[in-house]
């Protein structure tokens, strides 16, 4: 196998600063500051052509793993605005608050629960040492008005999580789908929280997307299902999104973190440059949600088990992941700068590469004619059109081939196909298939290409 150069890793995801990721995301069209022509809006971001492709790929894998790969999980897409009673029943009106403290000197606002315990004990601002105010409880739900009259009665909330849409539709799904407990309902959608501190790029924003699944089980079986879902969800991060195992861990909620109704809760945490932070919550929620909605709507929400004719309020195991936060995890984890020694002019040769799993990479295959003339461009286009049936492709005919490879490395394209004179002249039209991670190249007949890429994706393991 031919190989371009030997790589020494300079900086990986963990060592990469957030500025580098933000800059790459902007430069290559993953994520832009929102309404930038007007100076932007604090902590709001738009997903560009590559960003939306990455986000859609993550969402599609999640959906596939939930809905297609499980007989007993069905999908749902509930409205963002729900009856205000939903949020009384769920406890959000009363309890969905963060303790807010302000610095009297520099006016910076903090979430008290995220401050260093020493700073709280001293009541000193970590930014400037100024005095901090007493904490005030601040509700994170955004309100708006439904209808033309803005009175108290028209207030509705933008949902702060997608889960409640699932609970209020439990009965509808049972009555209209052929599901029996244990079964799950999965949903992906926008959620809104008026976060006090939005920082770290798309990690914490006021408008974001969640991928949530509520799994309804018979009381008494919840511990078993909790373990099953913990295993399945971690496996998804390792094997479907290709996140490095050393950057993932479980964090079990302690007594002080656990909601009063919850039996157990684990977070899947990712190791960011700014520390370990939650990526997904896996919660054993008892019958709290369905019981509360039953109480507030005035009719118990229960389930008649056809197996033994018993009637009960199901228990819930919830898996609640951030979609937009997953985009950040994929980008950070994939990022690497490599020292490739010297280039042909004697300059330091640094390669920036995103080791994105082929499942999530915005472009799977780039097709590159070595030169434009002598019919190579047309032949390359023809090969690209053929691959388009199965893969997200990109055709690029301009610039030195090495530079074109690097442009693809930087956006995480796992495979490049190069078309040269041998392709045109050889009987079986051999092409060069180049692998992003290893920079190795193999020469194979055109007819083997689509199947070879399929196999490479199936067997993909990340190489430094």
To the nearest whole angstrom, how small is the minimum distance from the Cβ of residue 142 to ligand ATP? 12
Environment class of 91 (CB within 10 Å of its CB; exposed 0-12, middle 13-18, buried 19+): middle
| Cα–Cα distance, 59 to 187 (Å, whole number) | 10
Q: Is 44 or 302 the residue whose CB approaches ligand ATP more closely?
A: 44
Q: Is 161 or 287 the residue whose CB approaches ligand ATP more closely?
A: 161
Closest listed residue to residue 321, CA positions, set 241, 209, 183, 215: 209
Q: Is 193 or 436 the residue whose CB approaches ligand ATP more closely?
A: 193
Cis peptide bond upstream of 182, omega within 30: yes
To the nearest whole angstrom, how small is the minimum distance from the Cβ of residue 392 to ligand ATP? 25
Q: Is 92 or 404 the residue whose CB approaches ligand ATP more closely?
A: 92
Q: Is 205 or 338 the residue whose CB approaches ligand ATP more closely?
A: 205
Residues 6 or more apart from 88 whose CB is under 8 A from it? 94, 296
To the nearest whole angstrom, how small is the minimum distance from the Cβ of residue 344 to ligand ATP? 44
CB-based contact 125:103 (threshold 8 Å): yes
**How far separated are the first and last CA of the chain, in Å rounded?**
17
Sheet holding 207-217, edge to edge: 73-75, 183-192, 207-217, 315-322, 275-284, 264-272, 248-252
Q: Is 168 or 268 the residue whose CB approaches ligand ATP more closely?
A: 268
To the nearest whole angstrom, how small is the minimum distance from the Cβ of residue 195 to ligand ATP? 5
Q: Is 204 or 357 the residue whose CB approaches ligand ATP more closely?
A: 204
Q: Is 195 or 337 the residue whose CB approaches ligand ATP more closely?
A: 195
Per the listing, tokens 């059109």 go with: 385
To the nearest whole angstrom, how small is the minimum distance from the Cβ of residue 217 to ligand ATP? 20
Q: Is 205 or 393 the residue whose CB approaches ligand ATP more closely?
A: 205
To the nearest whole angstrom, how small is the minimum distance from the Cβ of residue 324 to ligand ATP? 5
Environment class of 245 (CB within 10 Å of its CB; exposed 0-12, middle 13-18, buried 19+): exposed
CB-based contact 85:76 (threshold 8 Å): no
To the nearest whole angstrom, how small is the minimum distance from the Cβ of residue 72 to ligand ATP? 23
To the nearest whole angstrom, how small is the minimum distance from the Cβ of residue 284 to ligand ATP? 13
| Cα–Cα distance, 217 to 314 (Å, whole number) | 5
List interacting residues with ligand ATP (CB under 6 A).
161, 193, 195, 204-205, 208, 210, 278-281, 320-322, 324-325
To the nearest whole angstrom, how small is the minimum distance from the Cβ of residue 251 to ligand ATP? 11
Question: Where would I find the H helices in 236-309?
Answer: 288-297
Question: Where would I find the H helices in 73-195?
Answer: 85-89, 92-95, 117-122, 163-168, 170-176
Closest listed residue to residue 216, CA positions, set 253, 184, 258: 184
């Amino acid at each position: 196998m031919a190989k371009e150069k030997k790589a020494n890793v300079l900086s990986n995801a963990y060592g990469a600063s957030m500025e580098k990721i933000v800059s790459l995301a902007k430069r290559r069209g993953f994520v832009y500051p929102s309404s930038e022509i007007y100076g932007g809006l604090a902590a709001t971001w738009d997903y560009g052509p590559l960003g939306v492709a990455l986000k859609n790929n993550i969402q599609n894998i999640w959906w596939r793993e939930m809905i297609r790969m499980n007989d007993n999980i069905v999908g749902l897409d509930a409205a963002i605005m729900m009856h205000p009673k939903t949020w009384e029943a769920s406890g959000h009106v009363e309890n969905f608050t963060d303790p807010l403290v302000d610095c009297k000197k520099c006016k910076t606002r903090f979430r008290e629960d995220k401050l260093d315990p020493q700073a709280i004990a001293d009541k000193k601002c970590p930014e400037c040492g100024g005095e901090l105010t007493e904490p005030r409880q601040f509700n994170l739900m955004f309100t708006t008005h439904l209808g033309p009259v803005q009175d108290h009665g028209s207030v509705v909330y933008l949902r702060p999580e997608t889960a409640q849409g699932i609970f209020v539709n439990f009965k509808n799904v049972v009555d209209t789908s052929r599901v029996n407990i244990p079964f799950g309902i999965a949903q992906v959608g926008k959620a809104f929280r008026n976060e006090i501190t939005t920082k770290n790029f798309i990690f914490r924003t006021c408008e974001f997307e969640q991928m949530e699944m509520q799994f309804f089980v018979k009381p008494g079986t919840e511990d078993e299902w909790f373990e099953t879902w913990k295993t399945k969800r971690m496996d998804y991060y390792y094997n479907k999104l290709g996140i490095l195992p050393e950057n993932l861990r479980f964090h079990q909620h302690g007594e002080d973190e656990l909601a009063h109704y919850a039996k157990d809760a684990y977070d899947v945490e990712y190791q960011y440059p700014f520390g370990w932070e939650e990526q997904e919550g896996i919660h054993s929620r008892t019958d709290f949600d369905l019981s509360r909605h039953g109480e507030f709507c005035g009719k118990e929400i229960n389930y008649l088990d056809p197996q033994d004719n018993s009637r009960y309020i199901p228990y819930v195991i919830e898996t609640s992941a951030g979609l937009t936060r997953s985009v950040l995890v994929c980008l950070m984890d994939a990022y690497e700068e490599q020292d490739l020694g010297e280039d042909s002019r004697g300059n330091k040769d640094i390669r920036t590469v995103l080791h994105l799993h082929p499942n999530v990479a915005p472009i799977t295959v780039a097709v590159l004619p070595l030169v434009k003339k002598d019919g190579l461009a047309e032949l390359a286009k023809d090969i690209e059109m053929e691959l388009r049936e199965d893969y997200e492709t990109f055709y690029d005919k301009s610039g030195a081939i090495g530079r074109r490879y690097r442009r693809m490395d930087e956006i995480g394209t796992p495979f490049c196909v190069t078309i040269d004179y041998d392709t045109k002249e050889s009987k079986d039209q051999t092409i060069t298939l180049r692998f992003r991670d290893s920079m190795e190249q193999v020469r194979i007949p055109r007819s083997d290409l689509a199947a070879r890429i399929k196999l490479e994706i199936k067997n993909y393991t990340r190489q430094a």
